[in-house]
Structure 1
Amino acid sequence: MSHINLTSGEIGSLWTTYMNDSMSQCILGYMINHVQDQDIFPAIKEALHISNEHVQQLEKIFEEESYAKPIGFTNNDVNIQAPSLYTDVFCLTYINHMAKFGMLSYSGYLSMSAREDMINFFSDALVKTSNLYHMTTKIALKKGVFVRAPYISVPKKTDYVDSKSYFSGYSLFNKQRPLNAIEISHLFMNIQTNLIGSKLCLSFAQTSPNKEVQEFMLRGNEISLKHMKVFSSLLLNDNVQSPISSDVCITDSTYSPFSDKLMMYHMSLLSAAGTGNYATAAAASQRSDLILDYERLSIEIARFAKKGADIMIKNNWLEQPPGTIDKVQLTKQKNN
């Protein structure tokens, strides 16, 4: 049987998965070296096992396909002996959050795959990541630290939208309608993701030795806090409280466990995820003011991500994804 080449979608998915899992190896390897809570330890151990397994499988695929292995992240990007930077509950919440991100990513990669071995790889990754999400959720519920989405009354009857004002967020003549369940769920989720982003930014700012990176991370924290305030005020205006865990914390350590390259890559990853979350939320929301909020806040994230990319390029930290060959440039080189 003739060999089936990888498609561009499969090549890009494999590259991104390797970058993310090699980064996760560093972060989870550091976390497992400091966790004290024996209920949380198995979750970090399982998450680390998944990342290690993925990296090994990917390296085998790269070798078989003569695919230049990405540089990614190595032991040079982490110091597991650095003092503890995160509380155990933060580690649990972080893994739960990244498992959500992983489920979205792997489902997308799976939908872009055609070769059977690629379908099997991403299907298995999706199942294991969803199991990890279930595991971390159960542990958080057992320990009483899982933050549930706000409760609203269960509908007692069905109805149709009977006025165009339903879609209006601002009106001089009609009272703004209350948020619906779909809109509340997205506002709540984006508050939670910004909370994680805020804590990571602060932890990276207080441990990075690079002043430019420190300032970038502090700016990221400001943006996260601002966005949380916007989303929380929208909920509070409808008397919907958005609960936040009190134990998702960082310590006062200033000794960096991670390289600046890793920290900056992590922020670019979260920025991309945040932009995707806002786009999904805007598409699902039916009140025009919410759509406008998501659009303007997405622009702020994009500018922040651009600044981060500039810093990474300046310091030679931004690894280039696989791309197609510029045929015009190739022709010029041949002629020369």
Structure 2
Amino acid sequence: MENKQISLTAAEISTLWSSFLYDSMTIQVIRFMKEKVKNEDIKPAIEKAYDIALRHLFEYEKIYHMENMPVPYGFTEKDVELGAPDLFTDTFKLTYILHMSRVGMVTHTASLALAARKDMRQLYGSCLRNVEELYQLASDVALAMGLYLRRPYIPYPKQVSLIHDKSYLSGMNPMTSHRILNSIEISHLSLNIETNQTGVMLTSGFMQTAQSPEVKKYMQKGKEISKDHISKFSAILLKDDIQAPISADHAITDSTTAVFSEKLMMFHMSLMSTAGFGNYAAAAAASQRSDLTLLYEKLSLQIGLYAKDGANIMIENRWLEEPPAAPNRDQLGKNKK
């Protein structure tokens, strides 16, 4: 059966819409980085990221036109000022590509799993392969330059062991000592430190270039949240004599000239919040110590409230596009009368 005879499902419409907004935003950030990058080792990763985002956006638009659906507004070259002074160091540009390629692998995997129609499965499979290639390239460059953020090491296990005591799952009693972290818990704590370090840098850059006091205040709050979460996660690792990941020389410049539209910056923070929420949910599900599960749930609530504040700002300024929705059957019935 031809694809044109099969309508897109609600899941396929939603992933197409989300993917379009994600890539149309990302391409504007990378467009600026591509214009400013000077390091010849980092430049190929930036250029590849830009080319991938362009190809993805082209494929999304083809489907919108084929299905006779309106193309979302998304983001355009009007949302970035290429003539502004550089806001990010080249090392942060590489870190940004690494972070966004990880986010891309997660989102495209989810989109592929939700796709039914053959062309949609092929699209998201191709998108996934593209961002995986980008991640491999950016990782190789970071390792070669000594910029890859290494996560903690532990000794190799010498034998296979079974859990014999239910106390292995405990951690809430302040009167008893916690068991030592296992490798799964260490990996999630480390990953969440790393993503929050990226969040600190982004919010710092957005805060110093935002024009409205409202957006500046929002970015300042996001920076404080990220720094607080880094502190909490690092303290848990250090309590077991495990070194927390230390960021390399990732920084922003001292430029205060507006680079990105406030609509783009607010949407970017919404994306970061969504990714962080997903990371914490995965960490809570995988962690076997009850105190860690509770901590992730508590911090997830904080991120959720922060994201809601951001959504309110975007709605008030008419920056937030509405996702495709099912028709209101009750309202349609009333209109018919």
- Structure 1 segments, 4+ long, off by >6 Å, are none
Aligned to 1:246: 248
- Are 1:201 and 2:206 an aligned pair? no
Q: Secondary structure at the match of 2:36?
A: coil
Aligned to 1:301: 303
Alpha-carbon distance in structure 1 between the residues aligned to 2:335 and 2:226:
46
Quote the offset at 1:330 in angstroms.
1.1
Alpha-carbon distance in structure 2 between the residues aligned to 1:178 and 1:307:
37
Aligned to 1:271: 273
Q: Give unpaired runs (5+ residues) of structure 1.
A: none
Alpha-carbon distance in structure 2 between the residues aligned to 1:317 and 1:126:
28
- Are 1:41 and 2:43 an aligned pair? yes
Aligned to 1:155: 157
Q: Secondary structure at the match of 1:33?
A: helix
2:189 maps to which of 162, 181, 187: 187
Please give the per-residue CA displacement for 1:108-157, whole angstroms capped at 9, x wherever unaligned. 00000010000000000001101110100000000001011100011001
Q: Secondary structure at the match of 1:241?
A: coil
- Are 1:290 and 2:285 an aligned pair? no
Alpha-carbon distance in structure 2 between the residues aligned to 1:172 and 1:276:
28
Letter in 2 for 1:225: K
Aligned to 1:326: 328
Aligned to 1:226: 228
Preserved CA contact (<8 Å) 1:188 1:242: yes
Alpha-carbon distance in structure 2 between the residues aligned to 1:58 and 1:173:
56
Quote the offset at 1:175 in angstroms.
2.8
The residue correspondences of 1:1-336 to structure 2 (distance < 5 A) are: 1=1, 3-171=5-173, 174-335=176-337
Alpha-carbon distance in structure 2 between the residues aligned to 1:175 and 1:306:
37
Q: Give unpaired runs (5+ residues) of structure 2.
A: none
Alpha-carbon distance in structure 1 between the residues aligned to 2:247 and 2:215:
28
Preserved CA contact (<8 Å) 2:194 2:245: no
Preserved CA contact (<8 Å) 2:193 2:245: no
Alpha-carbon distance in structure 2 between the residues aligned to 1:256 and 1:39:
27
Please give the per-residue CA displacement for 1:46-90, whole angstroms capped at 9, x wherever unaligned. 000000001111111100100110000001101111100000010
Please give the per-residue CA displacement for 1:298-317, whole angstroms capped at 9, x wherever unaligned. 01001100100000000000
Indicate how the Cα distance of structure 1 residues 257 and 170 shifts in structure 2: closer, same or farther if over 3 A, else same: same
Alpha-carbon distance in structure 2 between the residues aligned to 1:192 and 1:172:
28
Deviates more, 1:163-172 or 1:85-94: 163-172
Alpha-carbon distance in structure 2 between the residues aligned to 1:52 and 1:195:
28
Letter in 2 for 1:65: E
Deviates more, 1:237-246 or 1:89-98: 237-246
How many residues end up aligned between the 2 structures? 335
Alpha-carbon distance in structure 1 between the residues aligned to 2:103 and 2:221:
23
Quote the offset at 1:245 in angstroms.
2.4
Output the TM-score relative to the length of structure 1: 0.98
RMSD over aligned Cα atoms? 0.9
Quote the offset at 1:173 in angstroms.
6.2
Letter in 1 for 2:293: I
Q: Secondary structure at the match of 1:67?
A: coil
Preserved CA contact (<8 Å) 2:35 2:82: yes
Letter in 2 for 1:232: S
Alpha-carbon distance in structure 1 between the residues aligned to 2:124 and 2:156:
36
Deviates more, 1:275-284 or 1:2-11: 2-11
Output the TM-score relative to the length of structure 2: 0.98
Alpha-carbon distance in structure 2 between the residues aligned to 1:172 and 1:72:
49
Letter in 2 for 1:275: F
Preserved CA contact (<8 Å) 1:165 1:174: no
